[in-house]
């Protein structure tokens, strides 16, 4: 027994002597790193001679920004975060004012018990109705998350506005408050549904959870600050209805402006009709593939369905029987026999129909064929059915290079998000 204990003791001493550790010094901070016997890496700050301000900045970044920032996120994340913070601040401030107006309109004193009753009747009732209606639009939100995020905040401000003016019509209190919370319910669903694709566009290192957690931390912090500002305004400038009617619209304008700037800063890297058309149009002009960051400020956030002439003026998502006449269907199938799309040229646009399992690559192929066909018809002023064949051959010759550049730029080509567009199957 004594021999065994001696062996174990020597083994532990040997393990300690073999422990891997080192010191790193960076930005006036000396850190001691050490691998524990169980394989875990521990870190201890040995010396930190930085000014207090620098320590506070690092502490703030660690709590509210993803690990490895700014190298672990895509371009535009800081601008997105700045306007997101201001957005939540203005929204929370406006929420306090609207809640105060609701209580006054109902003839209630703002006690916790009475506020709970009003909240239960309005939010748990009308808000849920709004949520149910908006939940049916999930596919459209996947395709255009930026547009729906802006729409969500406009709806939220509309609901808050109805609550703010409710004291002017106390006899319509339930109607105004109900409609307000109905709009807020739709806004909540749209905002939550678009959150994931927006955060995903910033995650460069698979750090989606870290991005989400730090984003929520910033939202929480500025919501609390906004509530504090709202309480202060409610007891001073906005203690009267006149004050609310002045400050409310101002806060709403700040809120919507911040959301628009957030979305403009977001480099969404999934293919939808608008982004695909913009990629093709820029390629036709310059011969280069644009990155998500390049296109973010060119996107039309309010009217994403506009046709882009340089990309062939393509319409996608119409029913197949509306796109192609039965007499012409077989001819098109012979041209695109190995593809998961069909194209039909019209006078003012080109219809693109996709198979059920078509990906972003298939949609991009179709768009390129449409763009080449439109360019050929402009050059020769002689539209013919063989134009599609020539355009298809030209697309096949350049597509491998285009696809490689797309993937290098960070585009996700494995799917195509066309909202509620119809697809066909043979």
26 pLDDT band, cuts 50/70/90, is low
pLDDT in tens, 85-102: 899 899 888 877 887 777
**How many other CB atoms are there within 10 angstroms of residue 246's CB atom?**
12
Strands 270-271 and 41-48: unpaired
- Work out the pLDDT band at 48, boundaries 50, 70, 90: low
Task: Delimit the domains of the chain by residue range.
Answer: 18-50, 77-264, 270-424
pLDDT reading at 51 higher than 70: no
Q: What was the pLDDT predicted at 19?
A: 55
Residues belonging to the chain: 426
pLDDT for 62 = 73
| Region of 271 on the Ramachandran plot (φ > 0 left; ψ -120 to 50 alpha; else beta) | beta
Give me 74's structure tokens. Answer: 């895509």
CA–CA gap between residue 244 and residue 133 (Å, rounded): 30
3-state secondary structure of 21: strand
Q: What is the mean pLDDT of the chain?
A: 81
Q: How far apart, in Å, are the Cα atoms of 235 and each of 50, 81, 96?
A: 42, 30, 11
Closest CA to 272 of 403, 341, 363: 363
* pLDDT for res 120: 47
CATH architecture assignment, domain 77-264: Up-down Bundle (1.20)
pLDDT tens for each residue of 360-396:
999 999 999 999 998 888 876 655 567 888 898 999 9
């Amino acid at each position: 027994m004594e021999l065994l204990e001696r062996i174990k003791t020597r083994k532990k001493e040997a393990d300690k002597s073999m422990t891997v550790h080192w010191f790193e010094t960076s930005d006036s901070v000396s850190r001691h790193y050490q691998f524990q016997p169980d394989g875990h890496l521990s870190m201890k700050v040995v010396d930190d001679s930085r000014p207090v301000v620098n320590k506070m900045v690092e502490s703030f970044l660690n709590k509210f920004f993803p690990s490895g920032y700014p190298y672990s996120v895509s371009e535009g994340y800081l601008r997105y975060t700045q306007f997101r913070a201001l957005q939540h601040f203005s929204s929370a401030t406006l929420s306090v004012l609207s809640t105060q107006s609701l209580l006054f309109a109902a003839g209630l004193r703002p006690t916790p018990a009475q506020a709970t009753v009003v909240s239960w009747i309005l939010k748990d009732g009308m808000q849920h109705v709004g949520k149910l209606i908006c939940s049916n639009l999930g596919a459209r939100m996947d395709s255009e998350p930026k547009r729906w995020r802006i729409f969500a905040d406009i709806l939220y401000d509309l609901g808050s506005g109805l609550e703010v003016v409710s004291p002017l019509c106390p006899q319509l209190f339930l109607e105004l408050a109900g409609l307000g919370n109905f709009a807020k319910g739709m806004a909540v669903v749209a905002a939550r549904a678009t959150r994931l694709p927006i955060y995903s566009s910033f995650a460069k290192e698979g750090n989606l959870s870290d991005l989400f957690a730090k984003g929520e931390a910033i939202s929480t912090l500025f919501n609390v600050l906004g509530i504090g500002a709202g309480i202060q305004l409610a007891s001073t400038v906005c203690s009267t209805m006149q004050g609310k009617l002045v400050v409310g619209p101002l806060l709403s304008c700040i809120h919507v402006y911040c959301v628009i700037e957030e979305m403009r800063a977001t480099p969404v890297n999934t293919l939808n009709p608008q982004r695909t058309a913009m990629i093709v149009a820029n390629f036709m002009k310059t011969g280069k593939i644009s990155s998500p960051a390049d296109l973010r400020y060119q996107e039309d956030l309010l009217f994403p369905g506009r046709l882009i002439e340089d990309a062939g003026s393509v319409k996608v998502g119409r029913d197949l029987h509306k796109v192609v006449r039965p007499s012409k269907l077989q001819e098109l199938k012979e041209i695109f026999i190995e593809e998961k799309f069909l194209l039909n040229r019209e006078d003012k646009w080109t219809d693109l129909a996709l198979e059920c399992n078509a990906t972003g690559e298939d949609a991009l192929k179709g768009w390129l064929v449409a763009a080449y066909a439109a360019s050929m018809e402009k050059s020769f002023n002689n539209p013919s059915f063989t134009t599609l064949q020539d355009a298809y051959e030209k697309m096949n010759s350049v597509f491998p290079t285009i696809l490689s550049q797309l993937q290098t730029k960070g585009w996700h080509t494995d799917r195509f998000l066309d909202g509620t567009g119809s697809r066909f199957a043979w």
